[in-house]
Amino acid sequence: MRWEELDQEPCSLARALSVVGDRWTLVVLRDCFLGVRRFDDFETRLGITRHVLADRLKKLVEAGVLEKRPYQERPRREEYRLTDKGLDLYPVILSLVHWGDRHMPGEHGPPVRHRHRHCGAQMRGVLVCSECGEPLHARDVTVEANPEMDDVRLPVRRAQEQQGG
């Protein structure tokens, strides 16, 4: 796989990485979920060069993850807002945050806590089955090829299991 051709791969993860998988993009998105909207605020918070930040924001806008909205007319200034497509990335960001909290906490523990507005409890995100609501873990899921697709590369282990190896 060539990095610049990830969006052409028959793999959903590869196509997703073509949008969010480069350096800085996920922390830009993290800040979007924290309410940062303006270029200068991203630049100040992240310590990122203007060129790199402009490039990442442009790519996220082109991918439909963010949209630019004017907040001032003279001079015209725009801010960046998450689209519905961007908001759908929240479980990804939350999962990565909680992975970091568990496996790479700071000296005093996680830097932020998440509280569910509905019930008021401090919480952590849990991936659940869309059909039965049970929490999902890697060993609980099997993968099968979509019969509509010609080129689906399943992991070697699955192919060996089907051959009885």
| HSE-up (13 A, CA, CB side) for residue 100 | 12
Q: Judge if 111 and 125 occupy the same domain.
A: yes
Q: Judge if 6 and 74 occupy the same domain.
A: yes
Summarised one tens digit per residue, pLDDT across range 65-91 is: 999 999 988 899 999 999 999 999 999
CA dihedral 126, 130, 133, 137 (to 10 degrees): -50
Q: Do residues 48 and 111 touch, judged by C-beta distance below 8 A?
A: no
Q: Do residues 26 and 93 touch, judged by C-beta distance below 8 A?
A: yes
* pLDDT at position 4 over 90: no
Q: Judge if 47 and 105 occupy the same domain.
A: no
Q: Do residues 53 and 39 touch, judged by C-beta distance below 8 A?
A: yes
Q: What is the pTM of this model?
A: 0.82
Query: Which helix or strand (DSSP H or E) is residue 29 part of?
Result: helix 25-33
Domains contained in the chain, number = 2
Q: Which has the minimum average pLDDT: 33-37, 50-54, 95-99, 123-127?
A: 123-127
Mean pLDDT computed over 118-141: 91
How many C-beta atoms lie closer than 10 Å to residue 19's C-beta?
Answer: 20
Q: Judge if 73 and 123 occupy the same domain.
A: no
Q: Judge if 74 and 110 occupy the same domain.
A: no
Q: Judge if 12 and 56 occupy the same domain.
A: yes
Q: Which of 52, 72, 87 is at the close of a domain? A: 87
Angle at 88 between CA 120 and CA 99, to 5 degrees: 65
Structural domain of 142: 89-165
pLDDT at position 11 is: 78
Q: Which of 87, 107, 141 is at the close of a domain? A: 87
Q: Which of 87, 120, 153 is at the close of a domain? A: 87
Summarised one tens digit per residue, pLDDT across range 149-161 is: 766 665 545 444 5
